[in-house]
Structure 1
Amino acid sequence: MSDAATIETPAGRCVLVRSGRRTLAISVLPDGGISLTAPHEAPPDDISAKVGKRLRWIVTQRRSFAEMNKARVPLRFESGATHRYLGRQYRLKVSTGSPTGVKLVGSYFYVTARKGTEGEVRDLLGAWFRSKAAEQFAVRLKAWAPWCREHDLPEPRLRLLRMPKRWGSAHRDGRIYLHPDLVKAPSICIDYVVAHEVCHLMHPRHDKPFFRLLDQKFPDWQAVKRRLELSDVVLS
């Protein structure tokens, strides 16, 4: 949950989040969008003017991401294709037979399918990732349970949900929604998203208390957030 708004700037419409920081932070996202984090008291006109001063840099970043996106090869679901799990790349080895399933051994995903079609392999691998996501995320949320009890917060409860624009979302009743594809990202990126959402149980908005808490519980969050944004693990 957040108090994000939008603002018109020389770079177009941007997402604006108010926080306790003292200066304006400008982030260009892989899809070309722009996220701004500004002090609570910063006037919109001042924010827009500062974005305008960084326009050349923003254009360069957008071009860089555009080139990266062109270079991205669509995921394939056949022998020899590569897929990520916890940040590492693994190759697929597809065979036909029964029972069907997926095994991760060494540097390979061994997928056994009835007919071996790409659609069948996609479904089998997707189910495997979803299962592993539930395991990985649950362990992390469980580690936060004592802290939540200590602060009279509801114990975090995992929900897997494919969200087109975000990796996670939190509700004050303790529900933490996480995108199953997040399990493909490096472990530290998962840790960051979980920490971010759990901190929202105490502070629902992206305000000064929230960022103060996030700084305390996950000091390197900005660098890790950037690493996730620059990774080839994308929202879908």
Structure 2
Amino acid sequence: MLAFYYGDECITFERTNRVNSIQRVLIKVYPDCRVCAHAPSTASDAEVLEAVKKRARWIYQQLRNFREQLTHITPRQYISGESYYYLGKQYMLKVLEAPEAAPNVKLFRGKLEVTVQKRNPKKVQALIESWYKSRAKEIFAKRLDAVINQTLWVTEQPPLHLRTMKTQWGSCSPNGRLTLNPHLVKAPCECIDYVILHELCHIAEHNHSEQFYRLMKQVMPSWEKVKSRLDGMAASFLNGIQK
């Protein structure tokens, strides 16, 4: 871990090495307030520290924004009355106890209804998480079909996988396999499209180069606005907490 001061605050960050040939230091601030600097392996710690300090004001602002979000959210208890997102809309949870019925989750009349044989928060949690993954698998496949024609460099449908992640919406492997976070299904469709297009752009450009951002501008001219919207919802979506 490396650290520096911005005003009276000591900001620590983790250094990781970039696997490509790009010589820039990429700085990321995550919703859980971790700060990471992805740097070329040839760069010294002093060089990385100097690059990070140049972005100190931006890092501080990002940390303040995420901390502000975290002060307005509470851990879930998986009981009736809580609010849950799906495709950008909020649904109130309604837990139904039915000893003879099969466990089930469904959207019904503006509510997320969970049927259990006996009230148990862990069981409710498991059912909701399974439902999100099932819906994510279907929705992501549909959105991939809807946007893939915009990426002319993609010649065949890439394989799509799900993986729950704490700090990422998605990733793209060197061989073109897309991995998306099932929590992303809580976001509006335009945000899902943004993440999918972002990863499809990585099939052509495996780093965040100027060419990468030119491709993003081509396929989604308003991507920065959409990204900002998604970033604002990240804490509640990724950490399983509610406002």
TM norm structure 2: 0.75
Q: Percent identity?
A: 36
Q: Are residues 135 and 35 of structure 1, via their aligned partners in 2, closer, same or farther at CA, if it must alter by over 3 Å?
A: same
**1:126 pairs with 2:129:** yes
Q: Is the 8 A contact 2:92 2:111 kept in 1?
A: yes
Q: Are residues 235 and 199 of structure 1, via their aligned partners in 2, closer, same or farther at CA, if it must alter by over 3 Å?
A: farther
Measure how far apart 1:169 and its partner are: 1.0
Structure 2 residue matching 1:32: 3-state secondary structure? coil
Q: Is the 8 A contact 2:154 2:203 kept in 1?
A: no
Q: Tell me the equivalent position of 2:237.
A: 233
Gaps of 5+ in 1: 1-5, 39-43
Distance 2:2 2:217 in 1: 26
Amino acid at match of 1:233: F
Cα RMSD for the two superposed structures: 3.5
Q: Are residues 217 and 56 of structure 1, via their aligned partners in 2, closer, same or farther at CA, if it must alter by over 3 Å?
A: closer
Amino acid at match of 2:238: V
Q: Are residues 125 and 7 of structure 1, via their aligned partners in 2, closer, same or farther at CA, if it must alter by over 3 Å?
A: same
Gaps of 5+ in 2: 6-10, 40-44
Q: Tell me the equivalent position of 1:159.
A: 161
Q: Tell me the equivalent position of 1:223.
A: 225
Distance 1:169 1:60 in 2: 26
Per mean C-alpha deviation after superposition, the further-off stretch among 53-62 and 96-105 is 53-62
Q: Is the 8 A contact 2:13 2:37 kept in 1?
A: no
Distance 1:152 1:190 in 2: 18
Structure 2 residue matching 1:169: 3-state secondary structure? strand
Amino acid at match of 1:78: I
Amino acid at match of 2:82: A
Q: Tell me the equivalent position of 1:103.
A: 106
Q: Are residues 34 and 220 of structure 1, via their aligned partners in 2, closer, same or farther at CA, if it must alter by over 3 Å?
A: farther
Amino acid at match of 1:105: F
Q: Is the 8 A contact 1:93 1:109 kept in 2?
A: yes
Distance 2:2 2:157 in 1: 35
Q: Is the 8 A contact 1:142 1:156 kept in 2?
A: no
Measure how far apart 1:81 and its partner are: 1.3
Distance 2:175 2:88 in 1: 31
Q: Tell me the equivalent position of 1:86.
A: 87
Listed one character per residue, the Cα deviations across residues 176-231 of structure 1 (whole Å, up to 9, x for unaligned) are: 11011110112211111010011111222222222211111112222222221211
Listed one character per residue, the Cα deviations across residues 7-30 of structure 1 (whole Å, up to 9, x for unaligned) are: 976554367989x9xxx9976543
Q: Are residues 78 and 168 of structure 1, via their aligned partners in 2, closer, same or farther at CA, if it must alter by over 3 Å?
A: same
Q: Tell me the equivalent position of 1:171.
A: 173
Q: Tell me the equivalent position of 2:13.
A: 13
TM norm structure 1: 0.77
Q: Are residues 152 and 31 of structure 1, via their aligned partners in 2, closer, same or farther at CA, if it must alter by over 3 Å?
A: closer
Distance 2:130 2:62 in 1: 35
Give 2:116's match in structure 1, choosing from 113, 135, 140. Answer: 113
Per mean C-alpha deviation after superposition, the further-off stretch among 168-177 and 189-198 is 168-177
Structure 1 residue matching 2:74: 3-state secondary structure? coil
Per mean C-alpha deviation after superposition, the further-off stretch among 159-168 and 190-199 is 159-168
Q: Is the 8 A contact 2:167 2:238 kept in 1?
A: no
Q: Tell me the equivalent position of 1:3.
A: none
Measure how far apart 1:76 and its partner are: 2.4
Listed one character per residue, the Cα deviations across residues 41-87 of structure 1 (whole Å, up to 9, x for unaligned) are: xxx98986675466456435423422321321112211111111112
Q: Are residues 56 and 147 of structure 1, via their aligned partners in 2, closer, same or farther at CA, if it must alter by over 3 Å?
A: closer
Q: Tell me the equivalent position of 1:66.
A: 67
Structure 2 residue matching 1:156: 3-state secondary structure? coil
Q: Tell me the equivalent position of 2:42.
A: none
Structure 2 residue matching 1:233: 3-state secondary structure? helix
